[in-house]
Chain A
């Protein structure tokens, strides 16, 4: 997704002279064209994320629009106080770009994973989270983020290429990927494509409704989503993030407030490292039962029981 991000940035920032890009010494084999294009507006701030985030805040205070790029945990965790005090207290339009959200950095290990990122960052009242699911989403997201008036976190992952049988809907906060019955599945992040593909090819009958959520916090539930919940009141929320502070918890509160009643409410979220074994992103997704097979097995079992 970082290559698609770079391509979208090249198109967008050419016309946005107030935008400036800071990287924490990352971007090899991906961001070179952006570096060349932006010239002085591309700043390698070195391996010093706390400074980089505060520098971005200073630049934003003087009407620039900084993008701050690093591996996701090095941004949201290492520099959290700088995000809180320097960016969010002042509601500055800084875009924090965290590459490798969730288990994205795979066998690089736990220090490089970000399975708590949006839970932590959503503690900041005016920061919004953007979680693209497909490379194509960045064509819409980057121009949108280049004009925001609030702090933002862009969680990049590794999205699968889907064949022409999968018509990816135009980017929006909520998208319906699959029309179905009995179950309503809500997914977030770059694993959505594989799960969508798995569900469609699973032979499940009926297929569940499949929804995709790409922006947090949840401002409002779309009426079509509520209708699906009313007609298919068995909800499964899947996220590459720990349960605490995650989408499942957020949604539970909203559903209670709005009075939408469910028969079943299941969540699949990241558990961390239960086996103390490490591997690829797919390894961790499987171990956490976030892979397509585990999801389909859950649905098969429960769809037969419902």
Chain B
């Protein structure tokens, strides 16, 4: 626990790299203690969440985690900002917790919507962005999606709407880790290259390495139009025995695996 605790004001004291490492360790501990899975997809998007929350999102901005199964990464990121208490993370996924496996509808101010059923988040984000435009409010809306999520037809409905309504205040990040529930994205429902599909709709697309913190920060800070950021990521990033393995969509960590994962993250 001591190794992973992140002191207050970390965003000022630590580099993004250090913040990410400490948050990743806390995420691993949280999942290990709770004996729950979904860790692979949490690790593929954690870098984006840390960059967003520590460098990009301001008080006028809003965020939707469309890939709700990465709630753990969101909780750990909010912890890294001091918005969720250390002690509370120990209740993750247990009885009488605020931190259910997918983001809850009530109880946490930073979470605007319950997500977890895929294909809702982009529409919700589009609604937030649309209302900001109609009400002449400043700030952007950020939506983090999975790649498998694009199997859902409602995502394409939302994309068409966002483009048609010229939602220049909306940034969409896609965690392109290439794995989904029961196989690779190519095996299950091949949409590759996903970025080309988006471009066909006239959407601005930026392709980035989803684990390059500097590139993510630079890219996200420059965006001023409706943009889809396709982030190439690795499921289970940073833990060798998890990387690119579909089973880590589900498996909990054994004690041995947890300690090995911690050693690998600490050595980065």
**Contact residues of A with B, CB < 8 Å?**
20, 40-41, 43, 45-46, 48, 50-64, 81-82, 85-86, 89-90
Contacts and interface: CB of A to CB of B under 8 A. Distances in A.
Contact of A50 (B123, B129, B135): B123
Contacts of A55: 123-124, 126-127, 130, 158, 161
A303 to B, nearest CB: 51
Interface stretch (B84-92, B110-118, B236-244): B110-118
B137 A62 contact: yes
Contacts of A86: 113, 120, 123-124
A55 B113 CA distance: 12
A57 B113 contact: yes
B97 interface: no
Nearest to B164: A46
B10 interface: no
A40 B120 contact: no
B98 interface: no
A212 B129 CA distance: 42
Contact of B135 (A56, A61, A62, A82): A62
Contacts of A43: 130, 165
9 contacts: A50-B119, A54-B123, A55-B124, A58-B131, A61-B112, A62-B128, A64-B135, A85-B105, A90-B105
Looking at chain A's contact residues, the main secondary structure is helix
Given A46-B160, A85-B117, A59 B131 contact: yes
4 closest pairs, A vs B, by CB? A58-B127, A54-B123, A51-B157, A48-B157
Contact of A51 (B114, B117, B134, B154): B154
B112 A82 contact: no
Contacts of B35: none
A41 B124 CA distance: 17
Contact of B130 (A46, A59, A81, A85): A59
Contacts of A56: 127
Given A55-B130, A61-B112, A89 B165 contact: no
B125 interface: yes
Given A55-B127, A55-B130, A86-B124, A48 B161 contact: yes
A90 B107 CA distance: 11
A45 B123 CA distance: 11
- Interface range on chain B: under 10, 10 to 19, 20 to 34, or 35 or more? 20 to 34
Contact of B127 (A41, A48, A54): A54
Interface centre among A40, A43, A48, by most chain B C-beta atoms within 10 angstroms, is: A48
Nearest to A88: B105
B160 A58 contact: no
B132 interface: yes
Contacts of B164: 46
Contacts of A62: 127-128, 131-132, 135, 137
Nearest to B137: A62
B123 A58 contact: yes
Given A55-B126, A57-B113, A58-B123, A64 B131 contact: yes
A57 B161 contact: no
A50 B127 CA distance: 12
Contacts of A82: 120, 123, 154
Interface centre among B105, B113, B117, B160, by most chain A C-beta atoms within 10 angstroms, is: B113
Given A48-B157, A55-B161, A90-B106, A61 B113 contact: yes
B105 A89 contact: yes
B124 to A, nearest CB: 4
B124 A54 contact: yes
B169 to A, nearest CB: 12
Contacts of B123: 50-51, 53-55, 58, 82, 86
Given A46-B161, A48-B157, A58 B114 contact: no
